[in-house]
Structure 1
Amino acid sequence: MATEAVEIKVGERAVRVSNPDKVYFAELGLTKRQIVEYFLSVGDGILGALRDRPTTLERWPGGVFEGAKLSTRADHRGDAFYQKRIPKGAPDYVETARIAFPSGRPADEVCPTELAVVAWAANLGTLTFHPWPVSRADVDRPDQLRIDLDPQPGTDFSDAVRVAFEVRALLASMGITAFPKTSGGRGLHLYVPIEPRWTFVEARRALIALGREMERRMPDQVTVKWWKEERGQRIFIDYNQMARDRTIASAYSIRPTQRALVSAPVTWDEVGDAHPQDFSVLTMPERFAQVGDLHAGVATEAYSLEPLIELVERDQRDHDLGDMPYPPEYPKMAGEPKRVQPSKARDDT
């Protein structure tokens, strides 16, 4: 049975929370109101991750329950969905940023500027926020390089940790600092704040070059192979996370897991001992009160991509290595190799 709506004070705003007692995480008994209160408890952190960034909302209006699934491009019958355009009826304080998809079609996405926007989105069932790696001041030039260390079958979080330390060392040799966080799943994300001087194409190529260098250094543990059949039991550095309109769950976002795990910033001293299961809606508020926003530096630092651009040029010059495949929904890109699965390509010869 639906319960009466309540209003929660967020700064100068009164945010309406409908059906506040609706259970969103059955295993833990967490309600919609508790989800809103969680985001408020990490307010400086979640707003720091989203402020002035076009943001896709991952909405679970029915909550997380056994068998619940996310709608995909191929199947729109899921229980949850991505909201890429501002919902109708949004309050006037919900601002937007205009972005262009790879197809060239534009959209006005939610662009959080205050914490009330996060609370409003949580009332709509938003658990995971997916901000673009750009500011609305220039939506075509990334100001973050996001390194997604994705464990493949046969590997786990501990394998991602080993790779993360080697990536850290490589970046440090270039005078670059990366900020780690758990993905909320099995992987690790490393954020590098960069000067907004390069295009998506250039930033993506820089990440490819970093991945290739890591593959050379750790050939049995790292891969940048796009096709799953070629990856083996290695950590995949997902270079296409830097393609336009590809996003990563923000720091402090809730993942749709039974235990309400969250994507948690961690220090490098913690990386070796931490585990994704340590960080949830239940544990993060106290942790945040103790350590604050460990990703605050992502908003204040800015590194040059030039050292990685030099790796791109070296790969081209010394190894004749060019671009790599884009995701299937993207238009054919200039310089992109044939977008055909290797096993199928062999079958065609």
Structure 2
Amino acid sequence: MTPPDPQITRVEVGGRTMKLSSLDKIMYPATDTTKGEILNYYAQISPILLPHMADRPVTRVRWPHGVAQQSFFEKNLPSGVPEWLDRVRVDSVVYPLVKNIGDLTYLVNLNSLEFHTPQWRVVAGERRNPDRLVIDLDPGKPAGLTECCVVALLVQERLGELGMELFPVSSGSKGMQLYARLGGDLTSDQVRDLVSQLAQELTRKHPDLVVWKMTKSLRPGKVFLDWSQNVAAKTTITPYSLRGTEAPFAATPRTWDEVEQAASGAARIEQVLFDEVLDRVAEYGDLLAPLLSAG
């Protein structure tokens, strides 16, 4: 009789029996954060995270040996995936659809730390028009998250004139995303063009702070207003997802009060660690809940 593998832990998750491996593996050496702690975070945040993944094909970034070593993007379902994990074919790629905590746990157990999703959903097998707009604010050193907050307020004011309500998310990496709900009547290309026009307008008005061209040599000290995240083929870090950064930061919804305080210099703003994300959810709930009412 083969003795049980001490690296394997059998658990019941979402009504399914799973084998979780190497729970003591250090995934973030700078903080000694283990794979077990990562699985625990995703289990706790799943009621808030999963609605933001619903009906969206999920791209993963996997770190087989932790964030200090090699990672790779994965779009297609890997071999050996159980039949119960839902999936959808988009063009030539078969993506997972993450519907419940069992699906999420299975993928996290494969050392998937980051989950990226498009701005559109698949409904009844059909790719719909985007139901949300996203603006990615990417600072070029020495600019940082504070400068992103300044630009976020400019974007909020401008799109507010168009009747759009924006929701800020610190990315967990360097910058920030701004989301707005859409009604589904615009194509991805139309949304891209709208945000591109906005980026060019703000670059003209604030040339020392904003840049709209992707040319990296133009970015130092400025915030690149990335309009391209709205292209149908592009994906953005899913809110509440971890990042493969040195420490276990997560994409975290913020209040506009936090953004305003940081932009004015009245308070410091930093990326948020995963345990702090859970504390914030306990305090605020899901600050992005209004995005979920899109049709």
Q: Same fold (TM over 0.5)?
A: yes
Structure 1 or 2: larger strand share? 2
Question: One-letter code of the match for 1:295?
Answer: L
Q: State the secondary structure of the residue aligned to 1:283.
A: helix
Q: State the secondary structure of the residue aligned to 1:211.
A: helix
- Cα shift at 1:33: 1.4
What is the CA–CA distance in structure 1 between the aligned matches of 2:159 and 2:270, rounded to whole Å?
Answer: 24
Question: One-letter code of the match for 1:144?
Answer: R
The residue number in structure 1 matching 2:15 is 12
Q: State the secondary structure of the residue aligned to 1:226.
A: coil
Question: One-letter code of the match for 2:50?
Answer: L
- Cα shift at 1:5: 1.4
Unaligned runs of 5+ in 1: 69-78, 101-105, 303-349
- Cα shift at 1:231: 3.8
Q: Does 1:296 align with 2:281?
A: no
What is the CA–CA distance in structure 2 between the aligned matches of 1:22 and 1:174, rounded to whole Å?
Answer: 49
Instruction: After TM superposition, list the pairs within 5 Å mapping 1:1-349 onto structure 2.
Output: 3-65=6-68, 68=69, 79-100=70-91, 106-137=92-123, 138-139=126-127, 141-271=129-259, 272=262, 273=267, 275-277=269-271, 279-301=272-294
Of 85-94 and 178-187, deviating more is: 85-94
- Cα shift at 1:64: 1.5
Q: State the secondary structure of the residue aligned to 1:42.
A: helix
Question: One-letter code of the match for 1:136?
Answer: V
- Cα shift at 1:274: 5.9
> How many positions carry a matched residue from both structures?
283
Identity of aligned residues (%): 29
- Cα shift at 1:8: 3.3
- Cα shift at 1:275: 2.5
Unaligned runs of 5+ in 2: none
| Per-residue CA distance 1:207-264 (angstroms, 9 max, x = gap) | 1012122223322211101222334531111111122321111111111122211111
- Cα shift at 1:280: 1.0
For normalisation by structure 2, the TM-score amounts to 0.90
Deviant stretches of 4+, over 3 Å: none
Q: State the secondary structure of the residue aligned to 1:15.
A: strand
